[in-house]
Structure 1
Amino acid sequence: MADRDLKNREFVGRGLHFPLRVDSHGRLALTRGASEVEESIRVILETAPGERVMRPEFGCRVWELLFDPRNAATEAAVVEYVQDALKMWEPRIDVLSVTLVDDPNLDDSVMLVQIQYRIKRTHDERSIVFPFYIMDEPAE
């Protein structure tokens, strides 16, 4: 069983910790397994297309909505753009759902995007909540 778990972790992979930091041995810190996948999801969602050198199409179009008003059309676009970006750029997962979470303690400029996904190799189902902020102007 331990051998199988090791193979699954190797398939899921490892990568540089984001944001970059140094480990206790003075080397760049790495993440492995499910943590690597979660960091990859965050990098995809936090990157606007055009920001990444040599791969200008990489990222999530959600940042195009930064100055749009918060309404049903904007909320639907957020869900669509997140789904599309993850399906395009994170082949290690199946996106199960992308929904907006209502939190009465937050103002309308914050949208909490809940992403439920399954790591293909391990069948491990996980969830992550990503905050997206818009510059919605208050109604007069």
Structure 2
Amino acid sequence: MTGVTDSGFLGTGWAFPVGPDPHHPEGIRLTGGAEAIRQSIRLILGTTPGERVMRPDFGCGIHEAVFDTNDATTAGRVSRSVREALARWEPRIDVLDVHAAPDPEDRHSLLIEINYRTRSNNSRFNLVYPFYVA
């Protein structure tokens, strides 16, 4: 399709974090396409359920594991929480796989690898989200 961009399929919205557009000082910075989905995933994973007053269910339950031992059991629980949250809150994607494992270079970090496909154009993407446990 000539002339149709990724953002034409996936939409455009406010970028995260919200801020002014450097090219249009009166406007808000926007994002679209695959980048908008990537930002949305990071926002979902970074939000604790109950944190948003008008949407108390929004977010991901991984924050319940912040004081857990960084082991395979915690990694499994985190993987399940990520799958459930993305299935509920990000309808533009199909989650193909979620794999969480302790970071070999940081014993307080759990690396969450998310493989997903956008529903509108079947493009596949990968995102690695670092999660810190105490």
Q: TM (normalized to structure 2)?
A: 0.92
Q: Report the count of equivalent residues.
A: 132
Q: Whole-Å Cα distance in 2 between the matches of residues 101 and 72 of structure 1?
A: 7
CA distance in structure 2 between the aligned counterparts of 1:99 and 1:127, rounded to whole angstroms: 11
1:102–1:73: structure 2 CA closer, same or farther, 3 Å change rule? closer
Question: How many Å apart are 1:100 and its aligned residue?
Answer: 2.3
Find the counterpart in structure 2 of residue 12 from structure 1.
10
Q: Distance in 2 between matches of 1:111 and 1:102?
A: 4
The alignment partner of 2:20 has SS state of coil
Give the conservation status (yes or no) of the 8 Å contact 2:111–2:131.
yes
68-77 or 83-92: bigger deviation = 68-77
**Which runs of 5 or more residues in structure 2 are unaligned?**
none
- Residues 45-64 of structure 1: matches in 2 within 5 Å? 45-64=45-64
Comparing both structures, which one devotes a greater share of its residues to strand?
A: 2
Deviates more, 1:114-123 or 1:8-17: 8-17
Q: Which residue of 1 aligns with 2:39?
A: 39
Q: Which amino acid aligns with 1:88?
A: R
SS of alignment partner, residue 114 of structure 1: strand
Q: Which residue of 1 aligns with 2:127?
A: 128
Q: Is the 8 A contact 2:66 2:132 kept in 1?
A: yes
Distance in structure 2 (CA, Å) of the matches to 1:72 and 1:118: 26
Q: What is the DSSP-based 3-state SS (H/G/I as helix, E as strand, rest coil) of the residue aligned with 1:127?
A: strand
State the 1:52 CA deviation. 1.2
**Aligned-partner SS, 2:120:** coil
- CA RMSD for the aligned pairs? 1.4
> After the TM superposition, which segments of 4 or more aligned residues of structure 1 sit over 4 Å from their partners?
none
- Establish whether residue 98 from structure 1 lines up as the match of residue 75 from structure 2: no
Counterpart-to-counterpart distance in 2, 1:117 and 1:48: 22
Q: How far apart are 1:102 and its partner, in Å? A: 5.5
Please give the alpha-carbon distance, in whole angstroms, between the structure 1 residues aligned to 2:124 and 2:73. Answer: 29
- Cross-structure match for 1:119: 118
Q: How does 1:63-102 map to 2 (within 5 A)?
A: 63-101=63-101
Residue 9 (structure 1) shift: 2.7
The offset of 1:2, in angstroms, is: 2.1
Deviations 1:6-58 (A, max 9, x none): 4x633411111101121111111000111111110010000000011211000
**Structure 1: runs of 5+ lacking an equivalent:** 136-140
Q: Alignment identity in percent?
A: 44
TM-score (norm 1): 0.88
